[in-house]
Structure 1
Amino acid sequence: MIIGIDLGTTNSAVAIWRDGESVLVPNALGDLLTPSAVSITDTGEALIGLAARERQPTHPKHTVTAFKRFIGTQQSVTLGKRKFDAEELSALVLRQLKADAEAFTGETVTGAVITVPAYFNDRQRKATRRAGDLAGLEVKRLVNEPTAAALAFGIQTREQEPFLVFDLGGGTFDVSIVEVFDGVVEVRASSGDNRLGGEDFNERLIDLVRARIDPDKKLEKADPVVLAELLRAAAERTRRKLSESDEAEFAIVWKDESFATTVYASALEEACAPLLQRLRDPVLRSLRDSNIRVETLSEIVLVGGSTRMPIVRKAITRMFGRFPNATVHPDHAVALGAAVQAGLLSRDVALDEVRLTDVCPFTLGIEVAEGDGRGGYREGIFSPIIDRNTPIPASRVNSYHTLADNQREIHFGIYQGEAREVASNVKLGEMRIQVPPKPRGEVSIECRFTYDTSGMLDVDVSVPSTGVTRSLVIMDQSDPLTEKQIAERRDALAAIKVHPREESENAAVRARAARCYESFLGRERDIVGQWLSTFDGALDSQDPRTIREAREQLVTALDSLEGERFL
């Protein structure tokens, strides 16, 4: 069985293609979304999902979220006694989603379609593939997130006119313009910003209230890691409340003292104005590249949990001069589209007439030198080989020549980006090839880029006069893993004891109660403490019925205290 996975910054989801439609898979708690969170207990056991996220305010040094933002880099975090990079943390989440799918279907998962932001570079895509490998999944294909959402929307509506998918998640922003005709879902153009999402709005909210909640600067004495997590959790809750009301309270508790203030939606909108402005450029770029006018778009389809924010919807309405389409579930669309792609790969008869085409979301090329008009050369110039928004799979070749007499080697720096100088673009790799020593300009070199439907880049360089050819599948130079090293990392992850799936509900609700105990003061804190003692007593009984009834009572009580439970 092939599953579809939306590996998100804030939440992840898994779906399957069954009986002619995409079906979301519930986790052990019955939720369709699993927080992208990992926590390590004092005993070295891994908690994944809601139980981990609820521990973040109380155990910030043992819990991590939003690690998708540093996938493909060397950044790591220490949880307990062990260091984890983003690939390993993502692998733990993927492994949990795989287990949920197998428990739901009773079948063995053999492969997965995993979604990635359209603007993920080659290094980030390969890191995502490695995360799937570490989780024991054969990654059949990587699909751009807005493309997956477009696939889910296009299958439902069979729209003929182009529509725009506006995907603002927890950590990234993507835009795709899509057309559906005769069963073909065609992506005309994609653009985006890998460093723009709900987490950035949280940071602006924290900046807005920081001085107001702490005029005496008492919080400067707090552990910065603990304080950062308290503020982040409060910002997330406040931002969600502002999606339903014009005002909300921002509050944290530190050392039994409350720090709080009221936040108004208008003030948040003003503070986030620079972020809202950044939403425009990717939209304009995708419209230009597709040669489609904004008035010809049939729909503006909202995807991603951050599009729930009224300030974002107002900005979109002003940008396009009309109200966006909010009929697609913003948190589910990407996973549902990934399941459609899984169905296509499984050759389900219900999808016989459906085809998907995508584009390369960024320009790919190499570093060259060019004449400066004074007999010298200017280095560090970007020479595009595959332009952004070229339909894929694509293969393009350019010819180059030697610069110096008797030159014996050509060095190719491989880049992605749109800037003329390579220093402003992203370096993906490099390679060298030997050439025969001849006068400058007499030796030609052909460089071919091949970019496939999973967003993977192959580079072939050849010297026609000698027949010498060098090929390279771009790898992360900072972490060039061998198959043996990958196997060792997989075994190390497998050795980490994961909290039993069937006990996830108990772990999650207890972590939530512990967080509430630290978040409230006075009478409310005493009451939560009593609830925790009662629930711990039920757990000690080891009687499933007693535990279930106590858990249900505790969840109801916490809901009444907090007024919400969000994913």
Structure 2
Amino acid sequence: MSETPTIGIDLGTTNSAIAHAEAGDIEILPGDTGDRTTPSVVAFDEATEQALVGRQAKKQAVSHPDRTVFAIKRFMGSDEVILLGPRDCAFTPEELAGLILKKLKHDGEAYLQESIDDVVITVPAYFNDRQRQATKHAGAMAGLTVERIISEPTAACLAYGLQWADDATVLVYDLGGGTFDSSLIDITDGLFEVVATNGDTRLGGNDWDALVVEWLEDRIEREYDVSVTDSPQLESRLFDAVKTAKHELSSRRSTTISIPFLEHDEGTTDVEIPIDRQRFDELTSDLLETTIDRVERLFVETGYRPQDIDEILLVGGATRMGQVRRRLTDRFGVTPSKRINPDEAVAIGAAAQAAILDGELEHGGERHPRQNAQHLPSPSDTVVMLDVTPQPFGVVLIDQETYEPYYHVVIERNTPIPARESYVTTTAREYQSEIEIQVYQGDNSRIEENELLDSFELGPLLERPAGEPTIEVTFILDENGILNVHARDVDHDVGDEIEIQPVFGFTDDELTVMQQNLPPIR
């Protein structure tokens, strides 16, 4: 990395954070409002053609839901186009994520009084190749060089392990606003080794809110004879009220969902509906059990037992729900740790990884800590982090007997990265001059149920009988979990190689243009 500040960013579904490491001290950098996290919310003001990001965007969401987008992280890596405003201004998910990163960059530079160029950005452990590429693209649009992409549970464990240097086996339970991850991580003498990971990129605290909102809408209709399902403005107010109630139930047994002056066709109504912790838990228990099932798979896949766990680390704001701590304690017999802030752990770990790349945690140096900095002791040995790939990579091959296509896994899920695996294939037709290589990510035996990352053709091949050519294909997975594929005709030295780019992907020139065309932030 360059001589610019050592920076880590947690690009979250609900909130994002930026952290700075210097000589073993890591601090969360506050935004222009003094807050330590920035809402991952973007709005577009057509009158000024400027973007609102963070708290400003969130404040105007109730009055202008059509100009506001939440949880953009859930769309990363898709070909979704988001339309904002009455004139339906079109944005890609990468552009909107780029605006959030641009805001973090701007606030960080204002606080440090230095330019920020290089960063480490975290992603959910279960993000696939396409989503990781999209995150790098978003960083480029914000004017950042993304030096490394690391998984959120790994970053959180890194923050934990550097602060409390004891060897341990840690279960990371990471429930954010829009994604869920679980990872088993072994810490031994400065080595952070991810054993396995599992998760769901479409499951998070927002889903808890949505279920309670459905219940609330039904209660309002029955008790007040008011329907709110067709009004985005009213829906937005309900979600805000439910989020407030959820936060209150983290420390209280009961609360009241209050929505004053709820507008409807006949006028306005003051809504007050009580809800207690038991009702909240009943409404959302299926979601919680889905996360527990994901954790259970880690033990099945690895042979670890619950009694092998020394610590359960909670990450993500949604883990403040009391049901999470209680259920994990009941199931695994370990009370989750409160040692680190679940909202800040990932950003701190990202900055720690940036410091490792810079050599900060190895060599120490002269210390000038700021008042709010967190000190991470420099270990006597080199800190090493070994992550795994969350989902397998494979190709389509043709059965030489039935001539039917089938899915062949080349790199298994939970393989340590970086990784390199090869396989040998051949032609299926007589005198075939080219061979197509289709690269997928996923673990379903049905080809169409996996995600096509890219495809390319190797050729021209020397024409020979079917089955005679020896084609070697090599998958190389880098430290970011991003894939390169090489292929060659072993006998006749014909070769080709590609870095797998998502089918929606952007060239460097396109990224430069998109960066220049991003609306300014107000």
TM above 0.5, yes or no, is yes
Query: What residue in structure 2 maps to residue 474 of structure 1?
Result: 500
The one-letter code of the counterpart of 2:418 is P
Which residue of the partner structure matches residue 453 of structure 1? 479
For residues 81-100 of structure 1, the aligned pairs below 5 Å read 81=87, 82-100=89-107
State whether structure 2 residue 333 is matched by structure 1 residue 324.
no
The Cα of 1:482 is off from its aligned counterpart by: 2.4
Native 8 Å contact 2:454 2:502 kept in 1: yes
Q: Does 1:230 align with 2:253?
A: no
In structure 1, distance between residues paired with 2:123 and 2:56: 25
Mapped pair 1:413 → 2:434: no
8 Å contact kept, 2:311–2:334? no
Which letter maps to 2:79?
Q
Q: Does 1:438 align with 2:453?
A: no
- For 1:459 and 1:112, the matched residues in 2 are separated by 26
**1:65 Cα deviation from its structure 2 partner:** 1.1
Secondary structure of the residue aligned to 2:404 is: strand
Residue number in structure 1 paired with 2:255: 248
1:337–1:265 CA distance, 2 compared to 1 (3 A): same
Q: SS at 2:168's partner residue?
A: coil
Count how many residue pairs are aligned between Structure 1 and Structure 2. Answer: 492
Structural RMSD (CA): 1.9
Structure 1's consecutive aligned runs of 4 or more residues displaced over 4 angstroms after TM superposition are 216-223
Alignment match, 1:176: 183
Instruction: Indicate the structure with greater helix content.
Output: 1
Task: Answer whether contact 2:394 2:439 (CA < 8 A) is retained.
Answer: yes
Aligned counterparts, 1:56-455, within 5 A: 56-80=61-85, 81=87, 82-215=89-222, 220=227, 223-252=230-259, 253-255=262-264, 256-348=268-360, 349-350=363-364, 351=378, 353-370=382-399, 376-379=402-405, 381-434=406-459, 435-455=461-481
Q: Is the 8 A contact 2:155 2:348 kept in 1?
A: yes
Runs (5+) with no aligned partner, structure 1: 500-567
Give, in angstroms, the shift of residue 219 of structure 1: 5.0
Asked if the contact 1:148–1:335 (Cα under 8 Å) also holds between the matched residues in 2, the reply is: yes
Which residue number corresponds to residue 7 of structure 2?
3
In the TM superposition, residue 319 of structure 1 has moved relative to its aligned partner by 2.2
Aligned residue runs from structure 1 range 482-493, under 5 A: 482-493=507-518
Matched residue of 1:115: which SS? Answer: strand
Residue type matched to 1:497 in 2? P
C-alpha separation in 1, matches of 2:54 and 2:192: 33
CA contact (8 A) 2:15 2:40 kept: yes
Return the TM-score normalized by structure 2: 0.90
Q: CA deviation at 1:217?
A: 8.6
Change (3 A) 1:413 1:25: same
Q: Offset at 1:258?
A: 3.0
Alpha-carbon distance change, 108 to 370 in structure 1, aligned in 2, over 3 angstroms: same
Matched residue SS, 1:397 = strand
Letter in 2 for 1:161: A
Contact kept? 1:159, 1:179, Cα under 8 Å: no
Contact 2:174 2:319 (C-alpha < 8 Å) held by counterparts: yes
Q: Which amino acid aligns with 2:66?
A: K
SS at match of 2:479: coil
Match of 1:544 in 2: none
What amino acid maps onto 1:59 in structure 2? H
| Distance in 2 (alpha carbons) for counterparts of 1:284 and 1:486 | 41
Tell me which of 485, 488, 509 is aligned to 1:462.
Answer: 488
Give the superposition deviation at 1:462.
1.2
Letter paired with 2:327: A
Deviations 1:176-225 (A, max 9, x none): 11122222222222221111100111111112222111128965477533
Distance in 2, Cα, partners of 1:267 & 1:404: 63
Residues 57 and 462 (structure 1), Cα distance of their counterparts in 2 relative to 1, 3 Å cut: same
Q: CA 1:262 to 1:446, structure 2 compared with 1: closer, same or farther past 3 Å?
A: same
- Aligned residue identity for 2:150: V
Distance in 2, matches of 1:43 and 1:122, equals 36
Q: Give the residue type in structure 1 aligned to 2:449.
A: S
List aligned pairs for 1:531-542, cutoff 5 A.
none
Amino acid of the residue matched to residue 293 of structure 2?
A: D
Amino acid in the other structure paired with 1:370:
D
Tell me the SS of whatever aligns to 1:93: helix
Q: Percent identity?
A: 37
